Amino acid sequence: EAQVTQNPRYLITVTGKKLTVTCSQNMNHEYMSWYRQDPGLGLRQIYYSMNVEVTDKGDVPEGYKVSRKEKRNFPLILESPSPNQTSLYFCASSLRGRNEKLFFGSGTQLSVL
Amino acid sequence: AQSVTQPDIHITVSEGASLELRCNYSYGATPYLFWYVQSPGQGLQLLLKYFSGDTLVQGIKGFEAEFKRSQSSFNLRKPSVHWSDAAEYFCAVGARSGYSTLTFGKGTMLLVSP
């Protein structure tokens, strides 16, 4: 089944403790992206990747890192999480770019205490 | 940079009634336009998209949207709402060139009453 898989589904952590949210897609998509969703703000793009080893900042990249060493994986790294990064995170992918149909993961609810 | 406005935060519609969700965008030319739906606890799913050509676009689940250049709008419609349509709906706009991000609106929560 074609899908985008995020893990974990829920995560509670403390300020400053490094964490990684994994994202994997099995559709051979070139484009992958991370969004955060906050009440009243909708979805905001954090980082995106057009292909392996090609990443770029979205609208709200501060405090986040990404890497794209393999086509299928696009992990989101918070090296020193802070409470303002408490949010619902979504990974998405598409065949070639942002203007094609995006396939979304089920989301990761992160709480930073 | 482009922007999207969804003026209605919540809308309540009776089951079987018609639905229209509003979306206005700001962009210097004709953008790519999308509607996504998010059911509770789920990721977003594409309902429909407009790239060019016919300004009335048909999507999945009986939805349609009309692109109106003069009004910078891309409103989503459905003639008869079902209880399963209760969800949050997001309009999104993408530039036709360059590497700018896909910009989402803040969403409209649809409630369906019996």
Q: What is the mean pLDDT of chain A?
A: 94
Is A45 in the B-facing interface, judged by CB distances under 8 Å?
A: yes
Who's near B4: CB < 8 A, 6+ residues apart?
Answer: B23, B24, B25, B26, B91, B92, B93, B103, B104, B105
- Chain B residues with CB inside 8 Å of A49's CB? none
A74: CB partners within 8 A, 6+ apart: A23, A24, A25, A32, A33, A34, A49, A66, A67, A68, A91, A93
Determine the pLDDT at residue B35. 97
Which residues on B lie below 8 Å from A61 (Cβ)? none
Helix/strand/coil percent split, chain B, to 5 = 10, 50, 40
Sign of CA dihedral A10, A16, A18, A22: positive
Q: Is the pLDDT of residue B28 over 80?
A: no
End-to-end CA distance of chain B: 41
Q: How far is CA A69 from the centre of its chain?
A: 15
Cα angle value A16/A22/A28 (rounded, 5°): 150
> Nearest to residue B68, comparing CAs of B86, B80, B56?
B56
A45 vs B contacts (CB less than 8 Å): 101-102
State the DSSP string of A22-82: EEEESS--SEEEEEEEETTTEEEEEEEEEETTEEEE-S--TT-EE--SSSSB--EEESS--
Q: Does A107 sit within 8 Å of B42, measured CB to CB?
A: yes
Identify the weakest region by mean pLDDT among A33-42, A73-82, B45-54, B90-99.
B90-99
Probe site for chain A from B44, B45, B108 (most A CB atoms < 10 A): B44
How does the average pLDDT of chain B come out, rounded?
92
The answer to whether the Cβ–Cβ distance between B41 and A44 falls below 8 Å is no
Provide the pLDDT confidence category of residue B30 given band limits of 50, 70 and 90. Answer: confident
The identity of residue B55, as a single letter, is T
Residues 6+ positions from B20 with CB-CB distance below 8 Å: B75, B76, B77
Task: Show residues of chain A in contact with B43, CB under 8 Å.
Answer: 4, 90, 92, 104-107
Does the pLDDT of residue B6 top 70, yes or no? Answer: yes
- The mean pLDDT value for A5-32 works out to 96
Per-residue pLDDT at B63: 97
Q: Residue A42: which of B42, B46, B90 has the nearest Cβ?
A: B90
pLDDT tens for each residue of B77-109: 999 999 999 999 999 998 776 655 688 999 999
Residues of chain B positioned with their CB less than 8 A from the CB of A101: 46, 49
Q: How close is the nearest chain A Cα to the Cα of B64, in Å? A: 16
Give the three-class secondary structure for A111.
Answer: strand
Angstrom distances, CA of residue B36 to CA of A45, A53, B7, B63: 15, 29, 16, 11
Residues A93, A33 contacting (CB under 8 angstroms): yes
Longest dimension (CA), chain B: 46
